[in-house]
Structure 1
Amino acid sequence: MTLTDAVDAVLPGALDDLATLVAIRSVSALPGHASDVRASAEWIVEQVRGLGCDDVRIVAEGGQPAVIARFPGPEGAPTVCLYAHHDVQPTGDLALWTSDPFRVRRNGERLFARGVVDDKAGVIMHLAVLRAFGGTPPVGVTLFIEGEEEVGSPSLATIMERHRDLLAADAYVIADSANWNVGEPAFTTTLRGLVDCVVEVSTLDHALHSGQYGGAVPDALTTLCRLLASLHDADGNVAIEGLSAMPDPGLDYPEDRLRAESGVLDGVRLLGEGPIAGRLWTKPTATVIGIDATSVADASNTLAPSARAKISVRIAPDADPDAAMAALARHLETHAPWGARVRVTDGSQGAGTTVPADGPIAAAAHDAFVEAWGIEPVQMGQGGSIPMVADFQKAFPAAEVVVTAVCDPDSRMHGIDESLHLDDFAKACLAEALLLEKLGSDRV
């Protein structure tokens, strides 16, 4: 049986397992689902043991549970760490979903459900590849399935420090990015970093009647809106002084494609200037992701004394998160109108990174992907942040990192009706299996 045949043979069972894993509501951001996150980790352990591997454990260093399993390879073979995460985003408004988000629904060549692509498809892909090898891969394999990626991996650094010997490898394959298009695979070579904060604006020591004092006394919500508007210039470029940018990438990203993929409404202008790929991958962004203020339903004719917002800033791949956080705080503290009081509370932060694609393992990955997909993979950036890439690079500087994907521009990660393209999933499984085979035979 060829390796292609072996992968094809395990795919039906892998898709059944994907549906089972999706049904476990492992939403790491919601405390009420902590038992579900634990259950999904335990389910993965069962699958690993079913492959004949007893060297598997759940680790939780003050955070959500992760799974580490080790499959020994032949003497002299390299060790490859296969990474994915089993936690998922909240669903949002259930009424907007076409079907139950925790029950896989098939429509044509796509499966729909929360986590069906981000990143439970990555988990199942790794398991499928190990099954294709009968639990005895041609290289040493460390399976590392994290349980809190969707909340910023707060305990990952501790896991890596305390379990360094278990996680040490010659290569890290991180299956948590995006492909260039359906049928067109990609390796991610740049990732932006991330900082966020909460800003609170105060103008009064108590609420006031808007008719009695409006016109002279500023309310906090209007003040906050003006402050938030200062994050961009008139053309939509980020206006926070001190944030850097990397040079624009050479890959063409047509505006009509971006509009079709994102669903920007007709007549709505895009933000910023310059090539779109640069705006998405190498320049900073500033996004208001939440506001605490009186709701419309509860509104009265009142001047609000305080209001606050959460701001998320993506930073250039080579930018320093500490410096970026300081620049964001400085901007907010110096741009509040009318002398309003401003308090900035730092939030999470993660470093971006560049991922070299010129090493021997990257070359083997390239050849494996060409063989599996029948097309040259694209080297592209990602606007999203995957801080553990930089964490692996820092902890294991001699190792190579390869960032792959099971999703495409139509997958709607984190959104309503998240979906997985079935043929792309099959090709991704084959590509990863071929990579392990090549690494085993070449003894990279």
Structure 2
Amino acid sequence: MKPEELKPEELEVTVDGLMDGLRADLERLAAIPSIAFPGFPPEPVHEAHDLLVGLLRDVGVERVDRIDLPDTAPVIFGEIPPPSPDAPTVLLYSHYDVQPPGDEALWQSPPFEPTPIEGGLRARGIADDKSNVIAHLGMLRAFQGRPPVGIKIVFEGQEEYGSPFDDYPPTDAARFACDAMVIADLGNLRPGTPTLTTGLRGACEVVVEARTLEEPRHSGEFGGAAPDALLALLKALATLHDVHGDVAVEGLRREDWTGTTYTEDEFRSLAGVRDGVPLIGSGSLGERLWSGPAITVIGLDAPSVEGAASAVVPSARAKLNLRFHPQQDPKEAQRRLVEHLRSLKPFGVPLTVTPGDTGPGYEAVTGGPAYRAALAALKEAWGKDAAYVATGGSIPLVNGLAKAAPGAEVLLFGAQDSMCNLHAPNERVLFSELRNTVVAMCAFVREYAAGFEAGGRS
């Protein structure tokens, strides 16, 4: 039997036979501290790059290019031509750089020493996103480098810090042209629940400032009449939410969420909500987290409690992060927040409101042949129907790749899960999720190719 003809039972046997090698390669990759942030040495990033280039060539990817853009780590681009003129092409994305480990005292084992845990491995970046890099390689190995579709491989080296690659793909559209793309930089809602992510909230930032006095003044002599800048700012910030904790800024889009979501107990555990503290907002968790807005005060310039003087505060400012509906225009969402703040004069004090960066959300088109193939593949791998979720985080490169290939279907799934501690201490990946992701990717390209042969493009 040819590799491209692998049926479900043969496919599972094949992938199971690859798992020891995939685990070994994941450990090798996760042991490299490939942190592309300023202040960290660049050599480990290039070491991870070179390791992956070698692994791609070993599996039969003859064309492996290096894309060097200004002020970023190298992007790996590989290509396998379609096996026939009427076969589709699938672009596979993941990234090989990782977050810094943070406070290493909070780790149960050194962050760059992959350590066995029950059912998996612990290390920084082992889930986000090196597990997905290895899942792509596992699919190619299962087909012995000859999958039934054309393949374009994009392994980015500076996704976590941000790079020009987010905007680059549309400037080189021919390179990224494809019929479907699998963006593997996320994963399942929970272990054992196959999950397709269909939406990403957008994001923007706004700084708001109150200035009232030339300098601090004694609170006993002047307090009660002299305008306190911090009180004015806090009064303004309090208008951003209603009594339930829902965002009260007019014009920010909010809709019912009809997909799957967390249970409240799951979410409380994931968020680390203290016992006795309620969640904020109303409606379903999916609506609060994914199809509605959220405003967070992410920074506050004000006198600290430690060493505070008995004085009226002359100035204070806050930095706000707004997350908004995947389909809302980012400039409109930001404008709504800016207009709301500028309309306020708490205690008669004018506010200075400064718009910051914006990033669009994304909502995938569903129902096409690649989407149908992905649903079948996820069910084959996990033995149950896929859940539908969105994510409150932004992945700017999705929009960049989607603009480069505007006709391509975009699929977001992978080997992570919401409980893997990505960006946190003790990040881990489960072998069951990695194994099933490899099976799902193999089944996806098989089903997608078959659908094309049967006229499934429409």
What is the TM-score when the length of structure 2 is the normalising length?
Answer: 0.88
Shift in Å, 1:211: 5.0
Unaligned runs of 5+ in 1: none
Local SS of the residue matching 2:352: strand
Distance in 2, matches of 1:258 and 1:388, equals: 27
Checking the alignment, whether the CA contact within 8 Å between 1:179 and 1:409 is kept in structure 2 is: yes
1:206 is aligned to 2:215? yes
Greater CA deviation, 380-389 or 337-346? Answer: 337-346
1:332 is aligned to 2:341? yes
2:34 to 22, 26, 29: 26
Structural mapping, 1:2-401, within 5 Å = 2-65=10-73, 66-76=75-85, 77-157=87-167, 159-211=168-220, 213-249=222-258, 251=260, 253-297=262-306, 299-335=308-344, 337-340=346-349, 342-401=351-410
Checking the alignment, whether the CA contact within 8 Å between 2:176 and 2:404 is kept in structure 1 is: no
Checking the alignment, whether the CA contact within 8 Å between 1:82 and 1:141 is kept in structure 2 is: yes
Shift in Å, 1:313: 1.1
Shift in Å, 1:303: 4.6
Cα distance change of structure 1 residues 113 and 337 upon mapping to structure 2, 3 Å threshold: farther
Distance in 2, matches of 1:47 and 1:388, equals: 24
Shift in Å, 1:295: 4.3
- The superposition leaves residues 374-395 of structure 1 with CA deviations (integer Å, 9 ceiling, x where unpaired) of 1111122222222333333333
Q: How many residues align?
A: 443
Local SS of the residue matching 1:17: helix
Shift in Å, 1:291: 2.8
Shift in Å, 1:222: 4.0
- The superposition leaves residues 84-133 of structure 1 with CA deviations (integer Å, 9 ceiling, x where unpaired) of 12233333333222222232222212322221111121112112222222
Unaligned runs of 5+ in 2: 2-9, 454-458
Distance in 2, matches of 1:256 and 1:326, equals: 35
Distance in 2, matches of 1:29 and 1:388, equals: 18
Distance in 2, matches of 1:105 and 1:214, equals: 58
Shift in Å, 1:321: 0.3
Shift in Å, 1:72: 2.0
Shift in Å, 1:67: 1.7
Distance in 2, matches of 1:211 and 1:43, equals: 66
Matched-pair identity in %? 40
For residue 181 of structure 2, what is the amino acid of its counterpart? Y
Local SS of the residue matching 2:101: coil
- The superposition leaves residues 210-267 of structure 1 with CA deviations (integer Å, 9 ceiling, x where unpaired) of 5554444344444433333332112100122221113332546433343344332222
Distance in 1, matches of 2:212 and 2:107, equals: 40
Checking the alignment, whether the CA contact within 8 Å between 1:205 and 1:305 is kept in structure 2 is: yes
Checking the alignment, whether the CA contact within 8 Å between 1:246 and 1:318 is kept in structure 2 is: no
Local SS of the residue matching 1:364: helix
- Tell me which structure has the larger Cα radius of gyration: 2
Checking the alignment, whether the CA contact within 8 Å between 1:62 and 1:155 is kept in structure 2 is: no
Local SS of the residue matching 1:240: coil
Cα distance change of structure 1 residues 224 and 174 upon mapping to structure 2, 3 Å threshold: same
Shift in Å, 1:416: 2.5
Q: What value does the CA root-mean-square deviation take over the aligned residues?
A: 2.6
Checking the alignment, whether the CA contact within 8 Å between 1:220 and 1:305 is kept in structure 2 is: yes
Shift in Å, 1:63: 4.1
Give the corresponding residue for 1:430. 439
